[in-house]
Every structure is written in C-alpha cells, then in structure tokens.
Amino acid sequence: GEDVEQSLFLSVREGDSSVINCTYTDSSSTYLYWYKQEPGAGLQLLTYIFSNMDMKQDQRLTVLLNKKDKHLSLRIADTQTGDSAIYFCAESGGATNKLIFGTGTLLAVQP
C-alpha cells in the first residue's frame, strides 16, 4: 500500500542549512508536498512539486525529487529559530485530494 516515511528528529544550529528527507512508495504520485506545523496550529503549505520536476526553489526553500528512488527532500537555507516546527511530507495521486502523510520530522533549531 501507499506509505510515506520520514526521520523523526533533526537538530541544527541557527544559520546552518537543514535537510529533511522523505521516501514514498506510490509510483503514481503526482504531487508531493511539504507542510509545516507549529504547536497548536494547523498545517501550513510550504511548497509542493509536480512529479515531472526534479527541483523547485522558493526563497530559502529548495525541494529535490528523485523519482527513481522515490526520495524527496526539503532544504531550508539559513535556518532560523522560527523554523522550529514539525515538517510533514505528503503525496497525492493528483486526481484526488487524498494526501498520504509521513510521520513528520521535528526540526529543532538551536540558537
């Protein structure tokens, strides 16, 4: 069945780059998403990538997609303390808004 996996925790120092990784199993995935969740809040859409793309850059965020290995990564440049949150990777088949989410990666930014 469909499955999305992420590492549980990442700790970085302020100013460094963060790389959060995700693997998925559904080869028919059309869209792959990154969401951010702060304590007590909903999900904030950070960025998404269409499956026929290899890379997408949006200000401090860079998404890399390796479709052959079904691997997705999110790089945050110049990580700030305000980036501390849980980051979720998700995939969808495109014809529906049914997203399959990963378990989330807790990013802790040390000052």
Shortest Å, Cβ 49 to other proteins: 9
Shortest Å, Cβ 16 to other proteins: 27
Smaller CB separation from other proteins, 44 or 66: 44
Helix (H, G, I), strand (E, B) or coil at 69: coil
Smaller CB separation from other proteins, 30 or 73: 30
Binding site for other proteins (CB under 8 A): 30-31, 33, 35, 41-45, 48, 50, 88, 90, 92, 94-104
Distance of CA 5 to the CA centre of its chain: 11
Shortest Å, Cβ 34 to other proteins: 12
Distance CA 95, CA 72 (A): 20
Helix (H, G, I), strand (E, B) or coil at 43: strand
Smaller CB separation from other proteins, 79 or 92: 92
Shortest Å, Cβ 17 to other proteins: 26
Contacts (Cβ under 8 Å, ≥6 apart) of 4: 22, 23, 24, 25, 89, 90, 91, 100, 101, 102
